[in-house]
Structure 1
Amino acid sequence: MAHAKLLMLVGDYVEDYEVMVPFQTLQVLGHTVDAVCPKKSKGEFVRTAIHDFEGDQTYSEKRGHNFMLNATFVEVDVAQYDGLVIPGGRSPEYLRTDEDVLKTVRHFFEAGKPVAAVCHGPQILAAAGVLQGKKISAYPACASEVKLAGGSYQPIGMTEAVVDGTLVTAPAWPAHPAWLSNFESVLQEYLVSRLAVNLTSRS
């Protein structure tokens, strides 16, 4: 199994499960995961929020953990990364206003690298203008943004995921088993194809 170097975009009040669980799981699988936040440095924290479904018309929100960044956003060389992960929560709402974040996102799509976005994460993809013609899941409240950005919103169950080429999306943290499994498959396919290209170019 090949191992990837992944970039994770986070910010204050990122959804707790959507940053903690993938960050740890992807490392268990042998991948390197660098979690970064604009205007913050390695060793600093972002605060997380815990969102739950408790019978109300929308999710509830509670204070989560302090999540430590292990890399610095302004020092990142996106060309060195194999894939991108964007958790949901409240952070995508403001991260999408940062042009450097949008440039980072566009790199992964232009280079055909694997990208995963969960819950409100697709808000950043919509702002980056990379959803045209893509089948995509997101938290249902983000459906209109996906459609306005040219994406094809997929109304799937909360435990399901959508794969469109190298893009993997899911509606919320209950879909972790589905999207992480699919993202791992997409990553392995990408890494194998990249290795084949490198070997061909050397021969």
Structure 2
Amino acid sequence: MTIKRILMIAGDFVEDYEIMVPFQILLMVGHKVDVVSPDKKAGEKIATAIHDFEGHQTYTEKRGHNFTLNATYSNVKAENYDALVIPGGRAPEHLGNNESVLDLVRAFARADKPIAAICHGPQLLAAANVLSGRKISAYPACRAEMILAGAEFQSIAIDGAVTDGKLVTAPAWPAHPAWMSQFLMVLGTKIEA
């Protein structure tokens, strides 16, 4: 297997499962994953939030864990990575106001590198204006935003995922098996028993 260098961009109140689980899965299969956040250095922490589906009209939110960043944001360049992962939660809504983050996302999209985004993660893709004509999924409450960004929003089961070329998206953390499986296929990762 060819080891891929993957960049994961996150910020405070990223969804706990959506940063922890893909980070661990990608490491488990042998890839190198750098997790960064604007204005933060390797060894610093970001706060996570836990979103759950408890029968209300929308998800609930609770304070999660602290996630320790393993790379420094100011050092990252898209050309040094093979792929990008954008977890959801509250982080994408504030990361989308950071022009350097948007430039980084645009660089991955321009280079046609694999991008995986889940839940509210596609908000960052919309803010970077890289969704026009793309089939995507996102948390259902993001539907209007995705359509306004020119995407072809796919209403799928909460545990499903959508692949459009090298873009893999999913509605929420119950989709981790489908989302990560499709992303690993896009990366060309082969898992042997």
Shorter chain as denominator, the TM-score bin is over 0.9
Question: Which residue does the alignment assign to 2:49?
Answer: 49
Q: Supply the AA of the counterpart residue of 1:152.
A: E
Question: Which residue does the alignment assign to 2:84?
Answer: 84
Gapped regions of structure 2 (runs ≥ 5) = none
May I ask how many residue pairs the two structures share in their alignment?
Answer: 189
Q: Supply the AA of the counterpart residue of 2:160.
A: E
Give how far 1:109 is off: 0.8
The alignment status of 1:141 with 2:125, answered yes or no, reads: no
Q: Supply the AA of the counterpart residue of 1:149.
A: A
Gapped regions of structure 1 (runs ≥ 5) = 190-203
Question: Which residue does the alignment assign to 1:198?
Answer: none
Describe how 1:69-148 pairs up with structure 2 within 5 A: 69-148=69-148
Counterpart CA distance in 2 for 1:16 and 1:135 is 26
Give how far 1:112 is off: 0.8
Counterpart CA distance in 1 for 2:143 and 2:61 is 20
Question: Which residue does the alignment assign to 1:63?
Answer: 63
Question: Which residue does the alignment assign to 2:40?
Answer: 40
Q: What TM-score, normalized to structure 2?
A: 0.97
Runs of 4+ residues deviating >6 angstroms: none
Larger Rg: 1
Give how far 1:2 is off: 1.6
Deviations 1:92-122 (A, max 9, x none): 0100000000000011111010000000000
Q: Supply the AA of the counterpart residue of 1:150.
A: G
Deviations 1:34-84 (A, max 9, x none): 000001111000000000000111101111000000001111122110000
Indicate the percent of aligned positions where both proteins have the same amino acid: 62
Question: Which residue does the alignment assign to 1:3?
Answer: 3
Counterpart CA distance in 2 for 1:96 and 1:77 is 18
Counterpart CA distance in 1 for 2:170 and 2:75 is 29
Q: What TM-score, normalized to structure 1?
A: 0.92
Instruction: Report the 3-state secondary structure (helix = DSSP H, G, I; strand = E; otherwise coil) of the residue aligned with 1:34.
Output: strand
Counterpart CA distance in 2 for 1:96 and 1:76 is 17
Query: 2:77 touches 2:104 (CA, 8 Å); kept in 1?
Result: no
The alignment status of 1:151 with 2:156, answered yes or no, reads: no
